[in-house]
Amino acid sequence: MGCDDPGGYPLGRSLATAAPVRVDPFDTAHHANANIAVLAASGQGKSYTLGAIVLAAAARGRGSAVIDPEGEHESLISALGGDFLRLAPGCGTALNVFETGALDEGEPARRAEVVAAVVDLVNVLCGGTLDDVERAHVDAAATGALTRVRGRRRPALLGDCLEPLRAATPRVATVLARFCTGPLGELFNRPTTLRLDAPVAGISLRDLHDELVPAATLLVAEWLWSLVRKDRMQRHLVFDEVGLLCAHPPLRRLLTQLARRCRKYGVSLVVATQNAGDLLATEEGTVVATNPAIVLLGGHRSAETSRMQGAYGLTDGQRRMLESAARGEFLVLAGDRRLPVRVELPALHHALLAGG
């Protein structure tokens, strides 16, 4: 079976016939949504393939926002004239959780979304340990903060939740206080300065301490979700190495929501992970892995392929192919089409992706 969508993104060649393979994620005749998942072991060419998607999209006037945990995509994004930001405490950028949420939704809906985002963030900052009572206290503190800043010139900030939490739940207040002062406060407790509105944009999390990555990803993802609901351009939201993030329930929920809802806004969620087994181990992770109309499955060890066989209904032959796939070889599932593909780009494009 071939796969050659007119105007589609050139991915490479069929391993069986050497015919060119082109896939158009936004072609609704073939694909129920424009989402893409790339699952393969480390070093198999996932980030390279994401780069190929960003490049092909840019050539068709479509945007991409790349959340880049390893800071690998900078040279590509710069070559495309995009904005690239290295996020870290002291980098000058601030992410204010109170400024996420869809601005065009009514006031009560927006308040509810922002308060939910604050509860999620504080939960992630507390290592996912908030119990129901603590969540209720954070909810009340965030609601109070929103009420108090009404009519003022500044947005509510995380620090506005501190005083009420000190009385109600000192444990949470102690953790939160760390993120409200010093370099961490500059990152989390100031009005948002994040600007990634360029059609092609990337944000590197490489310079962030590991413990800050989930919280920062949550805020960046919330911010991007607000952006795509505002500006309605065809765009890929690209999350490289998403598997580890999915260990955090709020991030898993957000990604699941993005996977399910982004089609309405002309947006495509693109995820890559080397932890396919971890992703498929939870119900929400399974949505993130199996909802995409386009899936590229690359080389894996057999422990992982048994889970993938069930999730994607692979034949024994397809499963064996994954266990012996070389770097750059993927089984492509695109709508109801399935074929083994070697991801291969013209020399100029290869130089852009491999040079980074």
Ligand X SMILES: Nc1ncnc2c1ncn2[C@@H]1O[C@H](COP(=O)(O)OP(=O)(O)O)[C@@H](O)[C@H]1O
- Which residues are at the interface with ligand X (CB under 6 A)? 40, 42-48, 327-328, 343-344, 353-354
Nearer to Mg ion, 47 or 93 (CB): 47
> Residue 298 CB, nearest distance to ligand X (Å)?
7
Residue closest to Mg ion when measured from CB atoms: 47
Q: Give least dist CB 140 to ligand X, A.
A: 43
337 binds, among Mg ion, ligand X, none (CB under 5 to 8 A by kind): none
Min dist CB 193 to ligand X, Å, is 30
Angle made by CA atoms 296, 43, 221, in degrees to the nearest 5: 65
Give the residue with the Cβ less far from ligand X, 215 or 238. Answer: 238
Cβ proximity to ligand X, 59 vs 103, nearer residue: 59
Segment contacting Mg ion by CB under 5 A, of 38-46, 108-116, 249-257, 344-352: 38-46
Which tokens belong to 226?
């607000």
Element at 39 (helix H, strand E): strand 36-39
Task: Yes or no: say if 226 and 100 are a contact pair by the CB < 8 Å rule.
Answer: yes
The β-bridge partners of 200 are: 64
User: By CB under 5 A, is residue 47 in contact with Mg ion?
Assistant: yes
List the beta bridge partners of residue 340: 331
CA distances from 220 to 151, 215, 254, 268 (A): 27, 9, 11, 16
- Cα maximum dimension of the chain: 69
In the complex, least distance from residue 45 CB atom to Mg ion, rounded to whole angstroms: 8
Backbone phi, psi, residue 311, to 5°? -65, -35
Residue 343, contacted partner among Mg ion, ligand X, none, CB below 5-8 A by kind:
ligand X
Q: Which residue has the tokens 């000192």?
A: 170
Which of ligand X, Mg ion, none does 278 bind, CB closer than 5 to 8 A by kind?
none
Residues in the interface with Mg ion (CB under 5 A) total 2
C-alpha neighbours within 13 Å on the C-beta side of residue 315: 8
What span, in angstroms and rounded, lies between the C-alpha atoms of 64 and 267? Answer: 9
Least Cβ distance, residue 330 to ligand X (angstroms): 9
Nearest residue to 325 (alpha-carbon basis) of 350, 308, 345: 308
Query: Which residues are CB-contacts of 179 (< 8 A; sequence separation ≥ 6)?
Result: 125, 158, 185, 187, 188, 189, 215
Choice between 82 and 328, CB closer to ligand X: 328
The residue (of 68 and 284) whose beta carbon lies closer to ligand X is: 68
Stretch binding Mg ion (CB under 5 A), from 43-51, 52-60, 81-89, 174-182 = 43-51
Beta carbon nearer to ligand X, 253 or 350? 350
- 35: nearest Cα among 218, 234, 236, 232: 236
219: alpha, beta or left? (left if phi > 0; alpha if psi -120 to 50): alpha
* Closer of 45 and 164 to ligand X (Cβ): 45
Q: Which is nearer to ligand X, 31 or 46 (CB)?
A: 46
What is the closest distance, in whole angstroms, from the C-beta atom of residue 192 to ligand X in the complex?
30
Quote the least distance from Cβ 119 to ligand X, whole Å: 33
Residue 4 beta carbon to ligand X: minimum distance, rounded to whole angstroms: 19
Asked if residues 66 and 50 have their Cβ atoms less than 8 Å apart, the reply is yes
Give CA separation, 344 vs 20, 113, 286, in Å: 10, 43, 28
Q: Which does 328 bind (CB under 5 to 8 A by kind): Mg ion, ligand X, none?
A: ligand X
At closest approach, how far in Å is the CB of 74 from Mg ion?
14
CB 246 within 8 A of CB 258: no
Provide the β-strand partners of residue 84.
202
Binding partner of 44, given ligand X, Mg ion, none, CB within 5-8 angstroms per partner class: ligand X
250 vs 292, beta carbon nearer ligand X: 292
Instruction: Please choose which of Mg ion, ligand X, none residue 45 contacts, taking the beta carbon within 5 to 8 angstroms, the exact cut-off set by kind.
Output: ligand X
Rounded CA-CA distance 204/201 in Å is 10
Name the residues that contact Mg ion, by CB under 5 A: 46-47
